Structure 1
Amino acid sequence: MTAAPTSKPFALLPDDPARAVVMLILAFTALRIAFAMLLGFGVDESYTLGQARRLALSYFDHPPLHLWLAHVSMLVFGTTWAVRLPFILMFAGTSWLMFRLTERLFGGWSGVWAVLALNCSLFFLASPGAWIVPDGPLLLFLAAGMLSLAQLFFPKRGETPSAWRAWALAGLCFGLAGLSKYSALFVVVGLAGFLLATPHRRWLLHPAPYAGAVLAALVVSPIILWNMANDWASLRFQAGRGGGKGLTLAAFAQMLAGQFVWLAPWIAVPLATIAVQEARRWFDPRRLFLLALAAPTILYFTIQSLWSGWALPHWPMPGWFFLFPLLGGWMVANPDASPSPRAWAKWCAGLAVALSLGIGAIGATGLLTRLGVPPQADPTLDAFDWKALRPVLAARGVGPRSGPVVVALTWNEGGKVDLAVGDAADVMVIGPDPRGFMFRQVPRAYQGADVLIVAQAGTFARQRATLERQFAVLGEPERLSIGRGGRGEIDLVIVPARGLRSLAPVSVAMR
């Protein structure tokens, strides 16, 4: 197949779209590996790795699949940067599925453009693309399930897809997506809306979709069993995050702005603009399919911020994921647009490389603090691993078979502590927000125990009065300053304490 010169984002790409997209995927995979090697584990990753040390049917914050993957990865790679490799490779697979989905709907070169834009987006470049978070497996299996159904809904000439195979594969993939993150449900709701709104509703009279639904339910059953055994704690926690606080326009504005920042403005503006334009062609079933998959996730989490008072801008991203094929189709159909799509592609790729390597280098070296930026203003400080704790605590008798228990005061600090010493000692959290730590702690096992409290100095100061009631004896804090390049950027305290009276948190004020 020979491509028109304007079909290709870059002139150097091969003329075959499949070969071209493989080159792009390999290039972005290499970029992600470099990024992963430079940047330490973030707060969520540290916490996830700590929770993943112990296998369970499910976990407090999220369904278990990414934690199971992290557990296996740690067995192979330890807690080095390489533990991210399975997640990086998964997103390479997701990119290929994006190509195949877009190719089926709008053609091969549209698929290449969609993959390029997806990988240049800040969120998809970093979070599901390189980090140990649930979004990686979520997107992989959502894409696989929807591709299976697209083959059934939009067959090519001469194809006779099997309904049983398509719905069984979709059910398996949707189950695995649900085993990754609860928000998979919104995309499946969008699929149901598409079926009801189009002649494809005939599939609702066929037994295959229901067999697929049963298979999906079997796959997600570990989540149900864990929640049944733990008073539905995980589902109650996630449902409570959308609690009403009245009309909050500021949170709504922050949610909108946050999505555009996460997508990257140079991706978000054309993506949103083209999605609105394509929505006018909703009568085209290919476009309606993508819009239906995207709309529930984007609209729910964006509008929810109006009454919840807060929301995280990455929550709607699985919805935006399904709009990238529309962008890819538009780029091929409008090669003479202004600004030039090919010039835009060069800028997007250049910014993706510069930002990922630049942020990685800043995180590895602490360049901002070297230049006088206060540590609290450096966003990469959250990705600094507290490895310096390990020898300090080892000198105080912390070890795999003896010595005091290590105690943190918040779930996020507990994750950092657990990443540093969790394979050598028990780590628990006794503050007001232990999150998943409360499901791996047995109060009777630690009653009266001697512990070493490790916390940031400010956190300890805020909770000191409570801690004095939780221990028979609370020792004096010893200060430890850690940071990159030997500079003090994080002020910690190590506090010996004796006679632990209660692990119970003071309150369950989980945000």
Structure 2
Amino acid sequence: MTLFSIIVPTLNESENIDLLLTRIYALDFIPDSFEIIVVDDGSTDGTPNKVRDWAKQSNIRLIERREEPDLSASILTGVAAAKSNVIVIMDADLSHPPEQLSAVITPILNNSYDVVVGSRYITGGSTENWPLYRQLLSRIGGWIARPICDVNDATSGFFAFRRELASNISDHALGYKILLELLMANQGKIRVTEIPICFRDRTHGTSKLSLFHQQAYLQRLITLAGGTVTLNTAGRFAAVGLFGVLIDAFVFQWMLSRDAGLALAHFVSFFFAATVNYTFNSKWSFREHHAGYLYWHQFGRFLTVGALALLLRGGVLAFLVYLCHVPPLFAIFPAIITTAAVNYLGSAFYVFPNKKEPPSLDIRWRTAAIGIVLFVISLRLVYFGLAQLIPDETYYWQYAQHMDLSFYDHPPAVAWLIWIGTSILGHNEFGIRIGSLFCGFMTMGYLYALAQNLYDKSTAMRTILLLAILPIGFTSGLLMIPDAPLMAAWAATLYYMERALVAHQNSAWLGMGIAFGLGLLSKYSLGLLGLAALVFVIIDPTARRWMKRPHPYLTTLLSLLIFSPVIIWNYQNDWISFAFQSNRVLADDYKFAVHLLVLHIIILLTPIGFLAAIFALFFTKRPESQQLERRRHLFVQVFAGTPLFVCFILSTFDAPRFHWTAPIWLALLPTIAWMIVHTDHLSAEFKRIQTAWRLTIVTCIFSYAFLLHYVVLGIPGIPYHLFTEHYFWRETASEIEQIAAEVRNQTSKEPIIVGMSKWSVASALYFYTHSDAQLDIRSRNMFGGSGAMYEFWFPSQNPTDRPIIQVGMKRRHLEKIRPDIDVKTMLDQPGAIEYCVIERHGVPVRRVYYRISQGFKGINYQ
């Protein structure tokens, strides 16, 4: 009985074939238990003759192909001729060790797996005697396949599989990597494993790999991912794009010559060029994927891609014009080129996708995840140094100017990150926000690993997609606020807790201790994960065993050690920070605010995300019945449900802060992502909810790009002052500097500028004036109001005859801090409250209110 068939494709391998067959027959196999099929692709060096000689005395067959040489076609020809149901593929050049045949075949023969890959790129695998450039090309080939393929070595030529799987391979399969075709054709339906092998470069003959094969592999990979990118379409798209560039640049210059603003000129020129591009691309570049008439669904997708490309290129244009001081006429060209990739890839994968060989739903989501996450990251990279700081960020920048072990209203992690960033990149938006970018990548990495452990690679990719597009992830990855390091630490803590409590990895306790300690240095709310861990240990009998071991207690000590700077600072300051946070949570005034909590969650998750979260938390059940799957599901429920329950209880007597629940949803995102594709167990109503994710994703991405473009370049036709009361502090600071200069000239005294808010106005003004003018800027604590850390940095001012300039976002802020504190009584000769209109590039953006007084009588003056 033939248990397995070995297929060896050959092309001029006469120097290797004898030694290969000798080594195979030297193995400890029953001679009649296998067959060898040599498929020759037109060798001219005598290879077929040597195989015929072997066939006379062994179970070897020779098949000679007369068609054009193609490795995939040769292998499929051999598969069709095989007698057994288990197929092994290996090269004839002795690069694959025949001694590993048993390890490759056995998992299939005993029905443990359907495909076994001899891998160079897992632990124990290696390559020998390969030139560096070949190793690099091979690595790159494996890396670019990994997002859509679940093995580490998708370009391996040594593997075994069940014969029936080959029937699913596309008729369009070409090239030299049939393994990729096999895996993609059976994605999600097969059990795959990898075994380590040592790959040795050939010692006889020459390699058949060429640049053409590399291009064919890349082309095929894109096709399998659902794209229509080919050399022909790329060339035609480039020709159309060049014509569009000329139109774009001409209209842009014409608009500027008519005194149009930068934003209006770039909008109008883009739409002219985009209209021309769509016409030619649909009729020429992608004509084989176009119906030949205007297809509104397709045109809507084109408009979506075009709008996103437009909003991204606005950031590139602003960067070049405002920061690099490149003339607009020249800046438009790199802006066009930068976003051409968005248009092309969006057209190839989204507007004109591959419909001849449509990929599975799972692969489409993987491809979408890659494209969308890359676009969101591009948005952050382009805009995070352009968009002005919000007052919260300038306040935490003030932390970094007064470095300490901790602070009154927050732990010190945000200050430490800003201090590092500004030390490297300077005191600017880049320097301050680089920490949030780093934290965003950390959050993505740990959440990906957590989702992969709980579910699978596909779910992990969709999880990162959700993190990138939902407000909870996009905001924390862009703004340098305490939530940025908190999200990273929360994701890391969840990962290590799952590894420790569910997977029972002893080493995970060390990571948990470090992540938990760093999380407490970010925000005290991370302590809710400690409570969740206690609940999980109580509920889960398997995890309860850890209570008898030293790991949890050593982890707690490590976390406290990392958290010790905050403890020391509080000890030195009468535990004031702990008391402040307790008062925020345990407010004296009763206020039922559950409805506000729900509203905040809907905003943070979007309505569709909110409904999906409810179902994931309370109703979904994993179909698997294994104990490990049940424990993983319990882990998700406990680590999302316990912190959420605490927030719910608090909201019954106090108004919650808007962002309180943001990190809680990290534990639930993998389950939400899993449900997007696995809808078999969902009701019809929730299936309809799942289909709404596409619209939610597009809406979120467009909203972020629109908002960033709006605050940096503006949107033609939408006035600024509708949304910008708390923004545009650079222009506001410049106006206040002029007012201060006038007061200084009139009085010959240095005025004191008082931001009439807790800390936001003073911090924003200080950041945007500190490098130009050393102004004396205080917070409202000068008048007896709360000033948070300003009460430490700038205690209440004694009476003075120096002029006082109050600055506020609203008129009422200049009059009363609280009903019992009338500011006017403390001022000497207070003037009338006035306002000035702040402009940006000649466009009104906001108002700011101010009042000038001749002096300050003192905080206790009656």
SS in 1 for 2:800: coil
Distance 1:203 1:463, change over 3 A: closer
C-alpha distance in 2, partners of 1:321/1:185?
15
1:422 and 1:279 mapped to 2: Cα distance? Answer: 56
Residue in structure 2 matched with residue 278 of structure 1 by the alignment: 620
Q: Distance in 2 between matches of 1:397 and 1:5?
A: 73
Question: After the TM superposition, which residues 295-314 of structure 1 pair with which residues of structure 2 at under 5 Å, given as runs?
Answer: 295-308=641-654, 310-314=655-659
The farther-off stretch of 315-324 and 425-434 is: 425-434
Structure 1 residue corresponding to 2:846, chosen from 486, 489, 493:
489
Cα–Cα, structure 1 residues 96 and 16, in superposed 2: closer, same or farther, change >3 Å?
A: farther
Q: Does 1:330 align with 2:675?
A: yes
- Distance (Å, rounded) in 1 between the aligned partners of 2:553 and 2:415: 29
Q: In 2, Cα distance between the equivalents of 1:59 and 1:505?
A: 30
Give the match for residue 392 of structure 2: 44
Secondary structure at the aligned position of 2:754 is classed as strand
In the alignment, residue 228 of structure 1 is paired with which amino acid?
A: Y
The one-character-per-residue Cα deviations of 1:263-314 (angstroms, maximum 9, x if unpaired) are 1112222222222223799971101112111122212212312211x11232
Higher helix share: 1
Partner amino acid, structure 2, of 1:470:
M
Match of 1:384 in 2: 728
C-alpha distance in 2 between matches for 1:469 and 1:505: 7
Q: What does residue range 91-240 of structure 1 map to in structure 2 within 5 Å?
A: 91-126=440-475, 128-155=476-503, 161=505, 163=506, 165-198=507-540, 199-240=542-583
Give the structure 2 partner of residue 68 of structure 1. Answer: 416
Aligned match of 1:253 in 589, 595, 611?
Answer: 595
- Aligned-residue sequence identity (percent) comes to 20
Which amino acid in the other structure matches residue 492 of structure 1? Y
Secondary structure of 1:180's counterpart equals coil
1:458 matched to 2:779: no
User: 1:448 maps to which residue?
Assistant: 800
**What residue is the counterpart of 2:757 in the other structure?**
410
1:1-57 deviation digits (Å, cap 9, x = unpaired): 3456789xx845996999986665433211223453564322322322233322111
Give the CA deviation at 1:492: 2.1
Contact 1:335 1:341 in 2 (8 A): no
| Matching residue's letter, 1:185 | G
Separation in structure 2 between the aligned mates of residue 141 and residue 463 of structure 1, nearest angstrom? 37
Structure 1 residues 387 and 241: alpha-carbon distance in aligned structure 2, compared to 1, 3 A threshold: same
Shift of 1:137: 0.8
Cα drift, residue 217 of structure 1: 0.4
Structure 1 match to 2:638: 292
The answer on whether the counterparts of 2:719 and 2:845 sit within 8 Å (CA) in structure 1 is no
Q: CA deviation at 1:77?
A: 3.3
TM score, norm. by length of structure 2: 0.51
- 1:58 equivalent in alignment to 2:411: no
Q: CA deviation at 1:350?
A: 1.5
Q: Which runs of 5+ in 1 are unaligned?
A: 507-511
What amino acid sits opposite 2:791 in the alignment? M
Structure-1-length-normalised TM-score: 0.83
CA distance in 2, matches of 1:335, 1:180: 40
CA spacing shift, 1:244–1:438, aligned 2, 3 Å: closer
Q: Which residue of 2 aligns with 1:509?
A: none
The alpha-carbon deviation at position 132 of structure 1 amounts to 1.4
Task: State the partner residue of 1:350.
Answer: 698
Deviations 1:208-231, CA, capped at 9 Å, x for gaps? 221111111011111122222222
Alignment partner of 2:620: what SS?
A: helix
Whichever residue aligns with residue 218 of structure 1, its letter is L
Which residue of 1 is the match for residue 777 of structure 2?
427
Aligned equivalents of 1:455, 1:317: Cα separation in 2? 32
- Paired AA for residue 257 in structure 1: L
**Alignment check: 8 A CA contact 2:731 2:839 kept:** no
CA distance in 2, matches of 1:469, 1:225: 40
CA distance in 2 between partners of 1:482 and 1:490 (Å): 6
The change in CA–CA distance for 1:72 and 1:36 in structure 2 (over 3 A counts) is same
1:448-496, Cα deviation, whole Å (9 max, x unpaired): 3625323123311335984444355545656433244442621321524
The aligned amino acid for 1:354 is F
Match of 1:480 in 2: 836
Task: String of CA shifts for 1:164-220, please: whole Å, max 9, x gaps.
Answer: x32122111100000000100111210121122111111121112211111110111
Native 8 Å contact 2:755 2:761 kept in 1: yes
Tell me the distance in 2 between the aligned counterparts of 1:383 and 1:55: 26
Task: Tell me how far apart the structure 1 counterparts of residues 762 and 645 of structure 2 sit (CA, whole Å).
Answer: 34
Amino acid at match of 2:741: A
Alignment partner of 1:26: what SS? Answer: helix
Change over 3 Å in CA distance of 1:115–1:34 after alignment to 2? same
2:385 and 2:430 in contact (8 A); partners too: yes
- The answer on whether the counterparts of 1:38 and 1:363 sit within 8 Å (CA) in structure 2 is no
**Residues 481 and 462 (structure 1), Cα distance of their counterparts in 2 relative to 1, 3 Å cut:** farther
**SS of corresponding position for 2:656:** coil
Q: Which letter maps to 1:317? A: A
Secondary structure, aligned partner of 1:421: coil
Partner of 1:489: helix, strand, or coil?
strand
Q: CA deviation at 1:397?
A: 8.0
Deviating more after overlay: 332-341 vs 225-234 = 332-341
Structure 1 residue aligned with 2:666: 321
> Match of 1:450, SS?
coil
- Judged with a 3 Å threshold, the aligned counterparts in structure 2 of structure 1 residues 64 and 306 are, in CA distance, closer, same or farther, namely same
Which shifted more, 201-210 or 425-434?
Answer: 425-434
SS class of match (1:407):
strand
Report the Cα distance in structure 2 between the residues aligned to 1:420 and 1:229, rounded to whole angstroms.
32
My pick for the range that moved more, 459-468 or 323-332, is 459-468
Code of the residue aligned with 2:805 in structure 1: it is I
Question: In 2, distance between residues paired with 1:19 and 1:205?
Answer: 46
Change (3 A) 1:505 1:419: farther
SS at match of 2:555: helix
The answer to whether the 8 Å contact 1:386/1:482 transfers is no
Select the structure of larger CA radius of gyration.
Answer: 2
Cα distance between partner residues in 2 of 1:441 and 1:219:
29
Q: CA deviation at 1:394?
A: 6.0
Pairwise CA distance, 1:152: 3.4
* Range that drifts further, 404-413 or 112-121: 404-413
Q: Give 2:606's aligned residue.
A: 264
Shift of 1:497: 3.8
Q: Distance in 2 between matches of 1:318 and 1:421?
A: 34
> What RMSD, in angstroms, separates the aligned Cα atoms of the two structures?
3.7
Which of 711, 718, 723 aligns to 1:363? It is: 711
Between the two structures, name the one with larger relative contact order (CA 8 Å, sep ≥ 6).
1
CA contact (8 A) 2:805 2:853 kept: yes
Deviation at 1:98, TM superposition (A): 0.8
Where does the alignment leave 5 or more consecutive residues of structure 2 unmatched?
Answer: 1-149, 151-182, 190-224, 228-348, 350-361
Q: Secondary structure at the match of 1:490?
A: strand
Verify the 8 A CA contact 1:106 1:329 in the aligned structure 2.
yes
